[in-house]
Amino acid sequence: MTFNSLVLKELAEKYTGQRCQSFHKIPQSGSNRLYFRITFADHEPIMGAFNKNVKENEAFFSFTEFFMEHEINVPEVLAVDDSRMYYLLTDLGDETLYFHLIANRVGGVPAPETIELYKKVLKQLPRLQMAGKQGIDFSVCYPRGIFDRQSMQWDLNYFKYYFLKLAGISFDEQLLEDDFQKLMDYLLKADSNYFLFRDFQSRNIMIVDDDVYFIDYQGGRKGALQYDVASLLYDGKADLSPELRNELLDFYLDELSNYVPVNRNKFLQSFDAFALIRIMQAFGAYGFRGFYERKAHFLLSIPFAIKNIKYILENCRLQLEIPALFDVLKRITESELADLSMEVSDKLVVEINSFSYKKGIPVDYSGNGGGFVFDCRALPNPGRDKFYENFTGKDEVVAEFLEKYDEVEDFKDSVFNLIKLSVDNYLERKFTHLTVSFGCTGGQHRSVYFAESLAKYLQETYNQKIKIVLKHTNLK
């Protein structure tokens, strides 16, 4: 079924007894659900929602009813149409914990009032989690009733196929799968009889009158305590410092101890394991949305996730031998993905790469689908002469070797004219990214020379109008 705005408007007008004054769509984030703010002349605004996944909606309705009965801050479901696809909610405004964090951060440090909001969230989290012991109906969960081995396997496959494969991170599939099994065996030892929110992150927490409200818990299921607190504290773009993360984790454990006995050492070991699988799930989401669906803004979260993975690898309390997985994670932290944030600019970013065809064409991380790839292998090759073995295309002697050939100059003129046409057009159309890659046999001489030459030409031609990112993928 496709969305019909008239159905939602009629539902809103029937509920309020008033005609709609405005019907404003809220920008989508990572889901396919549609949300609208609906206003009236003499009634407070309400939210309208459409989701054609009825099973997911039924989970949301059921969980909402339970949370409201237990005085947990969530939006009230005001009305639901007969199809169970259209429904109305109380309007909690626009301020998420994430927006509050970004707006009130000074020099990378969250404001004291933001930290207090995090503590309010962590004070409420055990109450949410205890719903699993208080009779919440897990039979309505969608798509799984518990964060079990199959759920974990889905997340790990998501990471493997939508992130590792699409990002070009190599791995030994059998060894990695063996370590996945070890990690899942370890995770499954944790008590999983609590309510697991599943996507417990700063964008799903609303700030209303200096209090916190929770949204988007329709994916909830049975699970372990560690998962949701790891989701919040390792929330990518929130970029919490290790010191603050540890402070907040201690605060949470103090609050949790009011509900259940807490063995801190055991909890922290499991916490690191759940943080790992949560971050891998996030990597999968970034890969699916960014690489596969070509929504480039999702890729901008990758450097933050890498920063979190690097911290865990360097400070891991997990007593588990999973060398293949740790090796893959380490290679992610050492990859070009960690530098994606460099490419965020209000100018046209021209990314220029040199590469070796033996290693493969560099992945386009912009989400724009490629750009230009020029094959330099038909040109004279200084690499055949032992004299040039320890030089690269950055060195003058290599430039002198290449520039004495007419075909090199012809190639350069043709390429530069073609690139200039695109840059002029992209600037006029306010495009944000262009990728140009030069390949040769070893990625050391010809490709490097042309990448350096193009970067110099574009800098001289366009000066401050563009931003150039130069990468030599096969030079040490």
Tens digit of each residue's pLDDT (9 = 90 or more) over 161-218: 999 999 989 999 999 999 999 999 999 999 999 999 999 999 999 999 999 999 999 9
Please answer whether residues 147 and 223 qualify as being in contact, where contact means their C-beta atoms are separated by less than 8 angstroms.
Answer: yes
Q: How confident is the model at residue 429 (pLDDT cuts 50, 70, 90)?
A: confident
Distance CA 430, CA 426 (A): 6
Please answer whether residues 195 and 130 qualify as being in contact, where contact means their C-beta atoms are separated by less than 8 angstroms.
Answer: yes
Q: Which domains does the chain have, with CATH numbers?
A: 5-90 (3.30.200.20), 97-340 (3.90.1200.10), 345-472 (no CATH)
Distance CA 166, CA 160 (A): 9
Residue type, position 37, single letter: R
Please answer whether residues 68 and 62 qualify as being in contact, where contact means their C-beta atoms are separated by less than 8 angstroms.
Answer: no
Return the minimum-mean-pLDDT range out of 58-62, 79-83, 370-374, 438-442: 370-374
Q: Which of 146, 439, 127, 370 is nearest to 256 (CA)?
A: 127
pLDDT of 34 higher than 90? yes
Distance CA 185, CA 179 (A): 10
Distance CA 59, CA 144 (A): 11
pLDDT of 344 higher than 50? no
Distance CA 21, CA 217 (A): 30
Distance CA 474, CA 437 (A): 12
List the 77-80 sheet strands across, edge first: 22-26, 34-39, 46-50, 86-90, 77-80
Distance CA 361, CA 365 (A): 12
pTM (global) more than 0.85: no
**pLDDT score, position 343:** 46
Return the minimum-mean-pLDDT range out of 20-24, 314-318, 321-325, 431-435: 431-435
- 381-402 confidence digits (pLDDT tens): 999 999 998 999 999 999 999 9
